[in-house]
Amino acid sequence: MSENMQNCQMTFPLIGDAAPEFTARTTNGVVHFPKDYAGHWVVLFSHPMDFTPVCTTEFLAFQSKMHDFNRINTEIIGLSVGAISSHLAWIRSIYNDIGFNGWKNVKITFPVIADMDLAVSKLYGMIHLGASETKTVRAVFIVDPHGIIRTILYYPQTTGRNIDEILRILIALQTNDAFGLSTPADWWPGMPVVEPLPDTVADMHKRMEIKNKNTQTWYLTFRNLSESKIYEKLTRKKR
């Protein structure tokens, strides 16, 4: 392993950890993370470098969903190893030159961190040495209003992220916090949610005494929870 690679060794933050703190320049000014976002959910995501094709489509996709993110009290912040001047030129080019998936003349409103010295990238484990020593993978960190990391996703540099899936995860996390219920595979609001596991033998037998279509067995019981009730709860606090 090269000396440069050894110097890039880092500790990766994990789900349930407090989001590592940093201060950085962004395209919207200086940010103190996560302090500036207290009380909000945050999607912090990295891209390998500016003026790359896959990253460009992701910027457009994130921006297209900004209303949906903001509706559930969520802010977006991007990161690249490029300089502020490079970020600004790229954002300008996206607005002037790019059309994708029906989007054209899109103004990127979320901040993009300039991480020329890789300080934030290393702090969050966004550089995977098997992929590159100087470019970040496509990392996603979902941070809750208390500054706790709740989800971590990694994508290779060649594969664009599914923004709807990131939005789905946010809604699922907030639904769990609001109602104390879990969400099954492929869940979207309006579909049945999952009851917590019984804590005692008595609770297990009680669960099995319930005879309805929602009770599959003692460890898998569904509950109907309407989409309107979910969004009523998640959007109650206005930004």
Segment 185-224, tens digit of pLDDT? 999 999 999 999 999 999 999 888 887 888 889 999 999 9
User: 195 with 117, same domain?
Assistant: no
Overall domain count for the chain: 2
User: 34 with 139, same domain?
Assistant: yes
Which residue blocks in the chain are alpha helix, DSSP H?
Answer: 3-7, 53-64, 66-71, 84-97, 119-123, 163-179, 201-209, 227-234
User: 38 with 109, same domain?
Assistant: yes
User: 39 with 134, same domain?
Assistant: yes
Q: Which residue is listed with tokens 């559930």?
A: 72
User: 17 with 117, same domain?
Assistant: yes
Using the CB atoms, write b or e for 167-190: b if 16+ within 10 Å.
Answer: bbbbbbbbbbeeeebebeeebebe
Q: What is the pLDDT of residue 194?
A: 96
CB 95 within 8 A of CB 105: yes
Residue 212: alpha-carbon gap to chain centroid: 36
Q: What is the CATH number of the domain that holds 137?
A: 3.40.30.10
Out of 55, 127, 137, 143, the active site residue is 55
User: 86 with 199, same domain?
Assistant: no
- Residues 113-149 have pLDDT tens digits of 999 888 998 899 887 666 555 567 789 999 999 999 9
pTM for the structure as a whole: 0.90
Domain that holds residue 205: 180-234
- DSSP one-letter code for 37: G
User: 69 with 138, same domain?
Assistant: yes
* The two structure tokens encoding residue 36: 């500036």
55 is catalytic: yes
User: 114 with 221, same domain?
Assistant: no
